[in-house]
Amino acid sequence: MHRDDPSDAAAASPFQPLPAELDFPSMERRILDFWAEHQTFERLRAKNAAGPRWSFIDGPITANNPMGVHHAWGRTYKDVYQRYRAMRGYHQRYQNGFDCQGLWLEVEVEKELGFESKRDIEDFGLEAFADACRERVDTYAAVQTAQSVRLGQWMDWDDSYYTHADGNIEHIWQFLRRCHQRGWIEAAQRAMPWCARCGTALSQHELIDTYEEITHDALYVRLPIHGRPNAWLLIWTTTPWTLAANVAAAVDPDLTYAEVEVDGQRYVLAEATVSEALGNDARIVGRVQGADMLGWTYEGPFDHLPGAAGVEHRVIPWDDVGADEGTGIVHIAPGAGEEDFRLGQELGLPVLVPIDENGVYVDGYDWLSGRDAREVAADVIADLERRGLLLRAHRYEHRYPHCWRCQEELVFRVDDEWFIRADEIRQPMLDAAAAVRWTPDYAGARMADWLRNMGDWNISRRRYWGLPLPFYPCQACGHLTVIGSKRHLEERAVSGLEQLRELHRPWIDQVVIRCEGCEAPVRRVEAVGDAWLDAGIVPFSTLGYLEGSQEFHRWYPADFITEMREQIRLWFYSMLFMSVTLENRAPYRSVFVYEKLNDETGRAMHKSWGNAIDFGEAAERMGADVMRWLYAGQNPLYNINFGYGPATDVKRRMLTLWNVYSFFVTYARLDGFDPTAPRIPVEQRADLDRWALSRLQGLIDTMTEAMEESLVHRGVRAAHRFIEDLSNWYVRRGRRRYWKSSADADKQAAYQTLHELLTTLVRLLAPVMPFWTEDIYQNLVRGADPNAPASVHLTDWPTADNSLRDEELEASMDIARVVVAAGHQARNEAGLKLRQPLRSAYVSGIEPEEIERLCSFKAHICDELNVKDMLNVKEAGFTSDIDFFETRAKLNFRRVGPRLGRLSRLVAAELAKNTEQHERIWSQFMNDREYKYVLHLDWEKVELEFDDFVFEAVPRSREYAVASRDRVTVAVRTEIDDALRREGLAREIIHATQNLRRSAGLDVSDRIRLWIDGGSALTSTLADHGAEIIDEVLAVSLNDGSPPSQAAETAPTLDGEPVRIRLVRA
């Protein structure tokens, strides 16, 4: 340590000292204030206003609850890429979006108001309900905005779009009108998965992931076969309520059915199911093929009720009947089952729909009427039993779908629904999707698969707070009028316009229009639209498409969008559908898809499982930058495991950078380093500097490429490696350059280089870690140069300077580090403490040119390994008889393989047999590179040249500690003579004294008076190394007079010598 009195320099330094600890949350709050105060975001937008455009569309977040940490993942991607584009000068929209209507909202508002059914909503009043929905949107849009700001996301928050806005609705109307003009809109009866609580059908994409294991009552029911006394069809069902809708019984024509007699009654069922259904005692008295049963008729289970009367129940064929469970005879209720309905359509079966939209039996079903279908199982069982139709009932566990919003069990129900026919647009959508760049690319395949399989789009929901479908079917002429805009509505309206507050129920329902077919007055259908219409229209509605705005053509299609993978079949799909319909092309050029967020053990997060992490709490505990780094570093192919454990990991890595930063600031202050001083030309700087700057250029390229390809995690990983190198090699190797007392050019070069490395690094990391990089930038750049851009986010993205690239230097440094690692290993294995200097280290196994280049790092290697000299084997005069390693020759398969083919194995084996020759082969090549080694096999000879070999050294130690890694072998001479021993002792003393200084609470730059006593070894050590010790520990005197009684003291045993060290501040 050599330090001059630093106090004046530090006081004048432009760099502020660092706090003791890196505290992300408090630093981030400070930076948020800073940005607000300086209007940094506004200045960024102004700066780029004339730049090229980069168009991004924000997928709307449902403004329904506070945002979760999974939203924060996606928002981090959005912010990272927008910030990167901003640093490259792109003009952007920065428009955030909220999803504001649909079933999501309604269900939450219902919960809030304590409602249990649609009737509660009707009683409450649609107007009041709409107001409540609106209010919830306002509340949570504000909450989510504040949270996003906290995350560091930069958006034009005052310009957010809302999908419940009239403008958004009008654009959807326009889309629907275009669909209608092409003949794609139709109302049709379909069996739909139905939520009785929500009172509406669900579409196919809402059914996914909703199956849960559940126990139901399963029934064996016997039904009398017409014309065959005492003969019964035995059917099995797990949904007793659907028996009232039975119209047929399906059998597999290829299956063999058994007639079984029990208690004088004959049952027909599939032979394979007999013992399961009737027990092992059942006696088979006859057999019949399924095909022969077709045309039988039977009496239905509820034929006596008016609602089910008058239906002829037949036995019908169906290939999908299985004998795995049940009886091989399937109860068919086309009005209450999806497959049943399809089968019924094919065969022209009647459709009985016994329940209304709330799941309640309609009139005509006697005691069932008015009762909830989900609650009648026990009574149906009792009723059947009383009427002698029940054979037995049992509990049955199976997977059954639930409503994804309210968790109620779903039923299937036939109803009139509105659809957009998909067949005509399928191919154009496939074509449009094929032109999109999907990242990762499997997402494109997924979309194509979805499109090939998509059914007609069910767009109607029997709800309230949603897009009002602009469908006006005319009772008089049958024409369907589809309104395409508010103006269109005004043109056709005959009444109700005056009360039209907004395009929502109940107001819109009051507007009556003239039919476009016959001018008769027509009312709107009551249904509202699928919420994916709301989100899908956003590329148009937010750009004034309907008004023919210029903005639309400037920003459409989007350059980039990103959301979770599930959005392929949701938002990406609905946008694509609408955009292909309106403009015949995809609304986005590239799409980035990421996976799911789980807790840190890999389990899904659920509030009820107690493993969900609140965003606000996470931001305050780990910090937004740490979260962002964690998200950005994730490989998007895999689910992310998010939690405080992984965050601690990230923070530890950040600490590495913090240490480098802190090191720089500490010494730059002491030395009064001025970053605005003239730069020392790079070619005049130390190899270490040139190496680090070269590495930096590589990092710039890697980061840039990662950002351009939307694979930021690659950049994050490269940055991580760079930070490791910066700390564990550049600073570790270079730290003495900052300590020396003279202010020479090398010291200046060291400061300049580290300053450049840090300030460039923070620009590269600014998109990922906007807060901390700003903090560092303000201190390292703005503090010293008021003319620099006011924020790191107002600087330009770094570009690599190829003149600073030196790949040879990087390669050599890599080898030097391998040599150091091998040397450490050798010393360690021999039990030689690093503090003990040794005479020499020998390096072998690498090419002569590499050795040569390595010699320029000799000082680093010697210092790291604490040896006096590093020699390569050749210059040390060793030849083939050296005794600490031997050379092995192996085949270079990469070269030899293609040439020799099958023979290469034999050659390799032959070579391995004669290891004693390897040394000779090596020296032949060393003497003459053109030498050809000829290997004689039994039947032919093979000629091998230098490049056909790989040479490596194998340790064979004696007086040397030897270790090999990669192809490098390092041997350290283990002999310790007296001079080395004294030097080792001196270093022990320095180390002990430094520890004593620290424990005595001295400052790094304090001077001391020092006293050391001990035996004769110590005396001779002080004679040889006293000056060095004085120098290192900043002593002004050694053993001068007697120490005061308050002197700090330590008395260790060093290298077997008892030593006493005392010191006081000078």
Partner RNA sequence: GGGCUCUUAGCUCAGUCGGUUAGAGCGCGCCUCUGAUAAGGGCGAGGUCCGUGGUUCGAAUCCACGAGGGCCCA
Residues of span 583-622 touching RNA by CB under 7 A: 602
Cβ closer to RNA: 221 or 654? 654
Cβ closer to RNA: 610 or 901? 901
Sorted by sequence, the CB contacts under 8 Å of residue 580 that are 6+ apart come out as 425, 428, 429, 432, 586
Cβ closer to RNA: 800 or 821? 821
Measured between alpha carbons, how far is 677 from 753 in angstroms, rounded to an integer? 13
Minimum distance from residue 32 beta carbon to RNA (Å):
24
Cβ closer to RNA: 651 or 685? 651
Measured between alpha carbons, how far is 654 from 662 in angstroms, rounded to an integer? 12
For position 881 contacting RNA by CB under 7 A, the verdict is no
- Nearest CA-CA partner of 587 in 542, 540, 545: 540
Interface residue with RNA among 625, 952, 983, 1055 (CB under 7 A) is 952
Q: Write phi, then psi, for 357 (nearest 5 degrees).
A: -70, -15
Question: How many residues lie near RNA (CB under 7 A)?
Answer: 69
**Which span sits near RNA by CB under 7 A: 80-88, 220-228, 728-736, 1021-1029?**
728-736
Cβ closer to RNA: 117 or 598? 598
As given in the structure block, the two tokens for residue 651 are: 């923070």
Cβ closer to RNA: 435 or 912? 912
Measured between alpha carbons, how far is 669 from 666 in angstroms, rounded to an integer? 6
As given in the structure block, the two tokens for residue 183 are: 């003949």
Minimum distance from residue 76 beta carbon to RNA (Å):
17
Cβ closer to RNA: 205 or 524? 205
Minimum distance from residue 977 beta carbon to RNA (Å):
19
Minimum distance from residue 760 beta carbon to RNA (Å):
18
For position 905 contacting RNA by CB under 7 A, the verdict is yes
Cβ closer to RNA: 497 or 907? 907
Contact 489, 513 (CB under 8 A): yes
Cα distances (Å, whole numbers) of residue 465 to 192, 534, 916, 950, 1044: 21, 12, 87, 74, 86
Residues of span 10-49 touching RNA by CB under 7 A: 21
Residues of span 747-786 touching RNA by CB under 7 A: none
Cβ closer to RNA: 88 or 895? 895
The Cβ-side half-sphere exposure at 881, using a 13 Å CA radius, reads 0
Q: What is the DSSP secondary-structure string of 993-1034?
A: HHHHHHHTT--TT--EEEEEEESHHHHHHHHHHHHHHHHHTT
Q: Write phi, then psi, for 751 (nearest 5 degrees).
A: -65, -45
Interface residue with RNA among 134, 136, 180, 205 (CB under 7 A) is 205
Handedness of CA 830, 831, 834, 839 (dihedral sign): negative
Sorted by sequence, the CB contacts under 8 Å of residue 411 that are 6+ apart come out as 193, 194, 196, 239, 241, 336, 355, 359, 373, 374
Minimum distance from residue 417 beta carbon to RNA (Å):
15
For position 909 contacting RNA by CB under 7 A, the verdict is no
Cβ closer to RNA: 309 or 1066? 1066
Residues of span 652-671 touching RNA by CB under 7 A: 652, 655-656, 659-660, 662-663, 666
Cβ closer to RNA: 19 or 350? 19
The radius of gyration of the chain's CA atoms, rounded to the nearest angstrom, is: 41
Cβ closer to RNA: 502 or 810? 810
- Nearest CA-CA partner of 395 in 219, 213, 275, 212: 219
For tokens 């920003």, name the residue: 555
- Nearest CA-CA partner of 586 in 711, 459, 448, 423: 448
Minimum distance from residue 600 beta carbon to RNA (Å):
8
The end-to-end CA distance of the chain, in Å, is: 16
Residues of span 384-443 touching RNA by CB under 7 A: 442
Cβ closer to RNA: 345 or 635? 635
Q: Write phi, then psi, for 1062 (nearest 5 degrees).
A: -135, 145
Contact 836, 984 (CB under 8 A): yes
For position 1066 contacting RNA by CB under 7 A, the verdict is no
Contact 351, 344 (CB under 8 A): yes
Handedness of CA 723, 725, 727, 731 (dihedral sign): negative
Interface residue with RNA among 175, 450, 540, 751 (CB under 7 A) is 450
Minimum distance from residue 306 beta carbon to RNA (Å):
35
Cβ closer to RNA: 136 or 733? 733
Cβ closer to RNA: 1 or 500? 1
Buried b (16+ CB within 10 A) or exposed e, 651-683: bebbeebbebbbbbbbbbbbbbbebeeeebebe
Sorted by sequence, the CB contacts under 8 Å of residue 133 that are 6+ apart come out as 101, 105, 106, 109, 164, 465
Minimum distance from residue 246 beta carbon to RNA (Å):
23
- Nearest CA-CA partner of 382 in 363, 404, 367, 360: 367
Minimum distance from residue 564 beta carbon to RNA (Å):
10
For position 641 contacting RNA by CB under 7 A, the verdict is yes
- Nearest CA-CA partner of 896 in 908, 912, 910, 884: 908
Handedness of CA 102, 103, 107, 110 (dihedral sign): positive
Cβ closer to RNA: 510 or 656? 656
Contact 709, 441 (CB under 8 A): no
As given in the structure block, the two tokens for residue 217 are: 């009552």
For position 228 contacting RNA by CB under 7 A, the verdict is no
Q: From the centroid of its chain, how far is CA 953?
A: 45
Handedness of CA 140, 142, 144, 147 (dihedral sign): negative
Minimum distance from residue 767 beta carbon to RNA (Å):
21
Interface residue with RNA among 475, 741, 828, 914 (CB under 7 A) is 828
Cβ closer to RNA: 100 or 826? 826
Residues of span 544-573 touching RNA by CB under 7 A: 565-566, 569
For position 824 contacting RNA by CB under 7 A, the verdict is yes
Minimum distance from residue 1053 beta carbon to RNA (Å):
13
Cβ closer to RNA: 34 or 663? 663
Sorted by sequence, the CB contacts under 8 Å of residue 349 that are 6+ apart come out as 247, 248, 316, 332, 334, 343
Minimum distance from residue 588 beta carbon to RNA (Å):
19
Sorted by sequence, the CB contacts under 8 Å of residue 808 that are 6+ apart come out as 853
For residue 372, how many other CB atoms are within 10 A of its CB? 15
Interface residue with RNA among 286, 455, 478, 1058 (CB under 7 A) is 455
Interface residue with RNA among 574, 579, 795, 904 (CB under 7 A) is 904
Minimum distance from residue 1051 beta carbon to RNA (Å):
18
The Cβ-side half-sphere exposure at 629, using a 13 Å CA radius, reads 27
Give the contact letters, 783-822, x = binds to RNA (CB under 7 A), - = no: --------------------------------------x-
For position 1056 contacting RNA by CB under 7 A, the verdict is no
Give the contact letters, 976-1005, x = binds to RNA (CB under 7 A), - = no: -----------x--xx--xx-xx---xxx-
Interface residue with RNA among 728, 879, 880, 914 (CB under 7 A) is 728
For position 638 contacting RNA by CB under 7 A, the verdict is yes
User: Can you give the binding site for RNA, defined by CB under 7 A?
Assistant: 1, 21, 204-205, 208-209, 442, 445-446, 449-450, 453, 455, 565-566, 569, 602, 635, 637-639, 641, 649, 652, 655-656, 659-660, 662-663, 666, 727-728, 731-732, 735, 739, 821, 824-825, 828-829, 831, 833-835, 890, 893-894, 897-898, 901-902, 904-905, 952, 963, 965, 987, 990-991, 994-995, 997-998, 1002-1004, 1006
